[in-house]
Amino acid sequence: MKARGKKRGRAASGKVEVERARPAPKREARAAPQREARRAPAHDERDAPVRDARAAPGRGARKPAARLSRIRLLALDVDGVLTDGRIAYGAYGPADQIQHFHVQDGLALRWLAREGVAIAWITGRGCMANIQRARELEIDELCERVEDKGVALREIQSRRSISMEETAAMGDDLPDLALRAASGFFAAPANAVPEVRARADLVTRASGGAGAVRELVEAILRAKGRWQAILDAALR
């Protein structure tokens, strides 16, 4: 590599002496990487969804397991949470809407219901597929074409004498933040919009319609100390 510098004049031998550039002080050499580190962007949650619960702004200092152990009501959005969010119409249009539910979510909801936890589906849309699946799983509350999900959830809480602290909810888009405001624990699937993920107590590894509800239900059952009994029953 050629040395950089300026000519100082000729020596007796006729060669040109070159004044080599002085190395930067060590303090400056260390400072640059530190400045770069501070400017480096934080990781994107979409690339590495958080599995474990984490405190959301204003949610209090209680540990997630302590809050989940108290849950008596689980409120779920449908499109994008229980399904993958896609909408498919058959030959008869909206009257023939096709929904894709995940079988593991359904099984988990059955387990949760057996532990005495009420389950509510609260959605801004509605179709026969939702009704059929809710009947199949014996869902306690199905609220369709809801304009304000927070109002719907509070009405269910009042009727069933269940407090906000005893309620968990899951949603994927901005209208579902109303569920967060009315619940003591709020979860989001991996496919949720950034604003919802940032305010969730739990972001699942799975996306909606792909096992996200199963992850939340399992967390509730573990917090209640019931997961091992379910596992033991399956191993018999």
Query: pLDDT at residue 212 above 60?
Result: yes
Query: pLDDT at residue 43 above 60?
Result: no
Question: How confident is the model over 204-223, as a mean pLDDT?
Answer: 97
Helix (H/G/I), strand (E/B), else coil: 219: helix
Query: Is residue 44 one of the residues assigned to a domain?
Result: no
Query: Is residue 59 one of the residues assigned to a domain?
Result: no
Query: Is residue 167 one of the residues assigned to a domain?
Result: yes
Q: What is the rounded CA–CA span in Å between residue 35 and residue 131?
A: 56
The residue segments making up the domain with residue 231 are 64-235
Question: How confident is the model over 157-163, as a mean pLDDT?
Answer: 98
Query: Is residue 53 one of the residues assigned to a domain?
Result: no
pLDDT, one tens digit per residue, over 128-152 is 989 999 999 999 999 999 999 999 9
Question: What pLDDT, on a 0 to 100 scale, did the predictor assign at position 88?
Answer: 83
Phi, psi at 95, each rounded to 5°? -70, -15
Residue partners of 90: CB distance under 8 A and separation at least 6: 96, 97, 98
Q: Are 204 and 218 in contact (CB under 8 A)?
A: no
Burial group, residue 35, by CB count within 10 angstroms (0-12, 13-18, 19+): exposed
Q: Are 169 and 152 in contact (CB under 8 A)?
A: no
pLDDT, one tens digit per residue, over 59-116 is 544 578 889 999 999 999 999 999 998 888 877 777 778 889 999 999 999 999 999 9
Question: What pLDDT, on a 0 to 100 scale, did the predictor assign at position 62?
Answer: 55
Mean pLDDT, rounded, of the chain: 81
Query: pLDDT at residue 203 above 50?
Result: yes
Count of domains observed in the chain: 1
Query: Is residue 187 one of the residues assigned to a domain?
Result: yes
Q: Are 155 and 136 in contact (CB under 8 A)?
A: no
Query: Is residue 55 one of the residues assigned to a domain?
Result: no
Q: Which two tokens stand for residue 29?
A: 């050499």
Question: How confident is the model over 217-227, as a mean pLDDT?
Answer: 96
Question: How confident is the model over 161-181, as a mean pLDDT?
Answer: 97
Helix (H/G/I), strand (E/B), else coil: 142: strand
Helix residue spans in 81-166 (DSSP H): 103-114, 128-137, 149-160
Query: pLDDT at residue 56 above 80?
Result: no
- CATH of residue 182's domain is 3.40.50.1000
Query: Is residue 58 one of the residues assigned to a domain?
Result: no
Pairing between β-strand 7-10 and β-strand 16-18 as defined by DSSP bridges: antiparallel
Q: Which two tokens stand for residue 147?
A: 């304009």
Distances (CA, A) of 28 to 25, 40, 44: 6, 19, 31
Q: Are 147 and 123 in contact (CB under 8 A)?
A: no
DSSP 56-103: PTTS-SS-HHHHHTT--EEEE-STTTTB-S--EEETTEEEEEE--B-H
Of 33 and 177, more confident: 177
Question: What pLDDT, on a 0 to 100 scale, did the predictor assign at position 46?
Answer: 34
Query: Is residue 43 one of the residues assigned to a domain?
Result: no
Of 202 and 87, more confident: 202
Q: What is the rounded CA–CA span in Å between residue 53 and residue 65?
A: 9
